[in-house]
Structure 1
Amino acid sequence: MKQVCIIGAGATGITAVKAMKEQGISFDCYEKGSDIGGNWRFNNDNGLSSIYRSLHINTNRNVMAFSDFPMPDDYPMFPHHSHIIRYFEAYVAHFGLRENIIFKTAVTNVSKNSDNTYTVTLDNGQVLSYQYVIVANGHHWKPRFAEFKGNFTGEVLHSHQYKGIEQVQNKNVLVVGMGNSAVDIACEAARLCTGKVVISSRSGAYIIPNWIWSKPFDNLTTPFSTKLPLWLQRKILDLVLRLARGKQEDYGVPRPKHPLLSEHPTLSQDLLNLAGRGLIGFKPNIREFEGKTVVFEDGSKQEFDLIVYATGYKISFPFLKQYDAFDVEESNSIRLYKRVIHPDFEHLFFLALIQPLGAIMPLAEIQAKWVAKIIKGECPLPSKEEMLRSIDEDAQKLAQRYKQSPRHTLQVDFYPYKESIEKEMKKTARG
């Protein structure tokens, strides 16, 4: 019996493979598709990728890279998804990981045994036993739709299904939501100038430019800045944004009523310019549909050919459906110690089940290193009571800062979270 089963060979799964291999831990890694990369492989044959043709990352290449494998210097600062998948392929080749991945094989069921081991069933009918299971199946693949009164008779799709400009060309488009994908798609449609483009949002968003004063915006965040009181972080960010691009409402983009840093930021270098040219309009939340006519909460009406729901994703673990603890598709809230371990399932680990203010890959990497140390017996876990207390404290902090929404259940700050895992590793290593 091998020690570990890793589910998924996307950006998170491959760093888990590397961590296990470096620690001499025996494992199998199963990937539903025919290649590595997960969400970052355009038109991935595993059917789960949300990448669209024009997508560029919103975190800069230096921040996003794994700690021991920098992105090439000739990459643009905000690379295209084709650069990212080549980077992951190079990472896998450099560390010799491909031979450790079993492709075209999906995990269909994971069951906990009385001795804390796990029985894993594959889609080819095989049933295997493992001491530990690492879940790296991602959380941007099962679309979440908003529901409204009435019936829209035009075309409907989720941003997960959006792949390119041909889907919005010559159409009046309503984009529901104001996160990164929503704004990207709206900007792409607006550049075509072939129809009206409108964004509908319940609460709006603060628009953060990718670049400020010739520097990538995310370079402004440091371990020191994240330790400042939240009210001071908000004051500083508001001042920086005003100096860099003025008031977003002067471009026609409504200013949200909630304070800065109380929701995941929306990054765009283009939205304000396109809105200022009248190419993108804004509406409040939808009240109801009347055929192709959309009635908004302010009483206004407008007709559209296409609605794109950029309303996020559900956390889903179809291979754990027999356990209530992991039936979280509606709430998007899962109670995990340090966002990795459920107190009742200590040999089951979840990686990259976070939404950081910053890049996710380095955090998945350090999570994987921590898990490897736990498996090796170098980092004993705290008691169940301590884990539950920590989970409650984290949930309370989250509720105080962010508005109540399935979108914000996974939020973490990059540096404080990274430091918390590093601290955990050091603390337990000393015993």
Structure 2
Amino acid sequence: MPYLVRQDHLAPPVTAPIPVNPSLPRACVIGAGSSGLAAAKALYQAHVPFDCFERGSVVGGNWVYDNPNGVSACYETLEINTSGPRMAFSDFPMPPDYPPYARHDQVAAYFNAYVDHFGFRDRITFHTTVTDVSPGPGGTWLVSTTGPDGDHVREYDAVLVANGHHWDPRWPDPAYPGVFDGEQIHAHDYRSGAQLAGRDVVVVGSGNSALDIAVEAGKVARSANLSQRRGQWVLRKFALGRPADQVVLPGWLPWWATAARLRVGALLSGNVAKLGLPQPHHAPGQSHPVQSEGIREALRSGRVTPRPAIERLDGDHVVFADGARVPADLIVWATGYRVSFPFLDPSLVAAKDNDLPLWKRTIHPDLPGLYFIGLVQPVGAVMPLAQAQGEWVAQLLIGRYAPPPDAEVRRQMRADHERNKRQFYSSVRHTMEVDFDHYLWDLRRELRRGFDRARAQVRAGRAHRP
């Protein structure tokens, strides 16, 4: 696997500036987070003329603490849940002196080094917000932006949407009954333990952020309660002294192989239900993995008290389904995010309950020229997948890759969507789930097939139009 190869990533840029080929389709990348950077770099190296618009002043998106773009959910203790070698782009490993699970500031520095190493920072327009993306004449797309130099509408042959899916907070809907006199925040607004210090805190949720916040509350809050409606298998980040995710499986193996690996990880980690959290009603591998090194000790020590679902809010107390009633002046709702595209008309693209079927999680067959980068929830890190998606789209735009017939695209899309619904329990959290190794293997296989189709079309005298 190329993701386990290390090299000196701090060398000078690997290439001289790459010229644009004006005869190629013109593209737009929305966002300069990890997925947008992967897409921009792929287009840059393919000589595709493109603009990348970023509403903030820096690259790195969700990994930048207090990002000026105003939508980062990064908090002080955040670190990656996938080990560095598995998270890094294939052609730009993380520094060898990084810890196995890098801190957010190290990840942000890595993305900055990535941009400068490949030399495409000048292709990113900062302080610019995309306000609308609409179909244009002749199969093009019209992109409206607002920024320091005013409002503009530009025409593109392709738009690569990389605005992320961890920025639009999803609150409980419907809201829990009762009235709460204290403060309520979403995990998206959490930054540090200073917000929890000396308070009676209830954290609601069972994902990685919920556990991280609960562990911190256990250190600094007057009281800390963790409320979960549904149990999860909580994996440790290390197994037998090494990062647990560095057991690499052949990509051609079906999902059961990854599920078996997760079951072993759950067995080695131990069931947190023994410490008072809800017993999971699904097998390991039937949900997105949750990892925490600190939650077990926080529960054992009594610094964090496990609670079931909330029944109602009652002034300065929270009442739980088992009848327990605890004082609270802060509720942190770690209840996930909505998939949304504020610049796209809902009549074009709408993710109902976060469900937006796409071919290979990238292409909407009804919207040619519109591509989604990083709109995946992998068992692993999104960065190498976004890299693969960006390179795939770049090859399509320069004409080296040709897709299969529309009927085959739709058949594959339906089959993949139905398979995912069978593999994972039904929730808004699992609408974009993919298996890291299998996804990369499958996309490489499709790319090879598309190269063959494109060559056959050239031989037959049929030019492919992206």
Residue 285 of structure 1 aligns with which residue?
Answer: 309
Q: What is the rounded CA distance, in whole Å, between the counterparts of 2:258 and 2:288 in structure 1?
A: 15
Q: Percent identity?
A: 39
Instruction: Give the counterpart letter for 1:102 in structure 2.
Output: T
Distance 1:64 1:73 in 2: 13
Q: Pick one of 217, 228, 243 that aligns with 1:201.
A: 228
Counterpart among 44, 47, 64 of residue 21 in structure 1 = 44
Structure 1 position 389, deviation (Å): 1.6
CA shift, 1:185, in A, is 0.5
Moved more, 377-386 or 330-339: 377-386
Q: TM-score, normalised by structure 2?
A: 0.88
Code of the aligned partner of 2:222: G
| Alignment of 1:213 onto 2:240 | yes
What does 1:312-331 align with in structure 2 at a 5 Å threshold? 312-320=336-344, 322-328=345-351, 330-331=352-353
The equivalences for 1:101-112 within 5 A come to 101-112=124-135
What secondary structure sits across from 2:368 in the alignment? Answer: strand
Aligned to 2:185: 157
Aligned to 1:294: 318
How many Å separate the matches in 2 of 1:13 and 1:240?
Answer: 32
Structure 2 counterpart of 1:402, from 424, 432, 442: 424
* Match runs of 1:286-365 below 5 Å: 286-320=310-344, 322-328=345-351, 330-365=352-387
Change (3 A) 1:158 1:228: same
How many residues matched?
425
Instruction: State the AA in 1 paired with 2:45.
Output: E
Q: Is the counterpart of residue 382 in structure 1 residue 404 in structure 2?
A: yes
8 A contact 1:253–1:272 mirrored in 2? no
Deviation at 1:236, TM superposition (A): 5.5
Question: For 1:392 and 1:86, how far apart are their aligned partners in 2?
Answer: 39
Output one character per residue of 1:247-304: Cα deviation in whole Å (capped at 9) or x when no partner. Answer: 4333333331222111111100111111111111112211221222222222332221
SS in 2 for 1:422: helix
Q: Secondary structure at the match of 1:184?
A: helix
Instruction: Determine the structure 2 residue equivalent to 1:135.
Output: 161
Greater displacement, 387-396 / 346-355: 387-396
Deviation at 1:221, TM superposition (A): 4.4
- Structure 2 residue runs of 5 or longer lacking an equivalent are 1-21, 454-466
Does the 8 Å CA contact 1:251/1:273 hold for their aligned counterparts? no
Q: Which amino acid aligns with 1:170?
A: G
Q: Distance in 2 between matches of 1:238 and 1:405?
A: 20
Q: Tell me how far 1:346 sits from its aligned partner.
A: 1.4
Alignment correspondent of 2:30? 7
Cα 1:160–1:314 shift into 2, 3 Å: same
Q: Deviations over 1:230-261 (max 9, x none)?
A: 3x75566444443x344433333333122211
Distance 1:58 1:73 in 2: 18
Q: Answer yes or no: is the 8 Å Cα contact 2:214–2:224 preserved in 1.
A: yes
| 3-state SS in 2 of match to 1:326 | coil
Which of the residues 434, 440, 444 maps onto 1:412? 434
SS at match of 1:416: helix
Cα distance, 1:323 vs. partner? Answer: 3.8
Separation of aligned partners in 1, 2:262 and 2:253: 14
Q: 1:307 to 1:197 in 2, by over 3 A?
A: same
- After superposition, residues 30-179 of structure 1 pair within 5 angstroms as 30-123=53-146, 124-146=150-172, 147-179=175-207
Deviations 1:185-222 (A, max 9, x none): 00011122x42211111111111001111110111342
Partner SS, residue 120 of structure 1: strand
* Secondary structure of residue in 2 paired with 1:125: strand
| Aligned residue in 1 for 2:296 | 272
Shift in CA distance, 233/57, structure 1 to aligned 2, threshold 3 Å? closer
Q: For 1:111 and 1:97, how far apart are their aligned partners in 2?
A: 27
Task: Tell me the SS of whatever aligns to 1:342.
Answer: coil
Equivalence for 1:261: 285
Q: Distance in 1 between matches of 2:255 and 2:237?
A: 24
Equivalent of residue 211 in structure 2, options 179, 183, 187: 183
> For residues 275 and 221 of structure 1, do their structure 2 counterparts lie closer, same or farther at Cα, with a shift above 3 Å needed?
farther
Change (3 A) 1:370 1:240: closer
Per the TM alignment, residue 52 of structure 1 is displaced from its structure 2 partner at its CA by 0.4
Shift of 1:325: 4.0
Picking from 422, 426, 431, the partner of 2:448 is: 426
Question: Contact 2:130–2:143 (CA<8 Å) still a contact in 1?
Answer: yes
Q: Which amino acid aligns with 1:282?
A: P
Report the secondary structure of 1:86's partner residue: helix
Q: What is the SS of the residue equivalent to 2:138?
A: coil
1:251 is the counterpart of 2:278: no
Deviation at 1:383, TM superposition (A): 2.6
TM-score (norm 1): 0.95
Cα distance in 1 for partners of 2:329, 2:340 equals 31
Query: Structure 1 pair 345/238, CA: closer, same or farther in 2 (3 Å)?
Result: closer
Q: Which of 238, 253, 275 does residue 227 from structure 1 map onto?
A: 253
Which residue identity does 2:26 align to in structure 1? Q
Distance 1:172 1:116, change over 3 A: same
SS of 1:390 mapped into structure 2 = helix
Give the letter aligned to residue 202 of structure 2: L
Query: Take 1:323 and 1:251, find their aligned partners in 2: how far apart are those partners?
Result: 44
Counterpart residue type for residue 161 of structure 2: V
Deviation at 1:159, TM superposition (A): 0.5
Gaps of 5+ in 1: none
User: 1:313 and 1:319 mapped to 2: Cα distance?
Assistant: 17
Give, as a single letter, the amino acid of the residue that structure 2 aligns with 1:28. Answer: D
- State the Cα distance separating 1:127 from its structure 2 match: 1.0
The letter for the 2-side match of 1:179 is G
Partner of 2:8: none
Q: What is the identity, as a one-letter code, of the residue corresponding to 1:7?
A: I
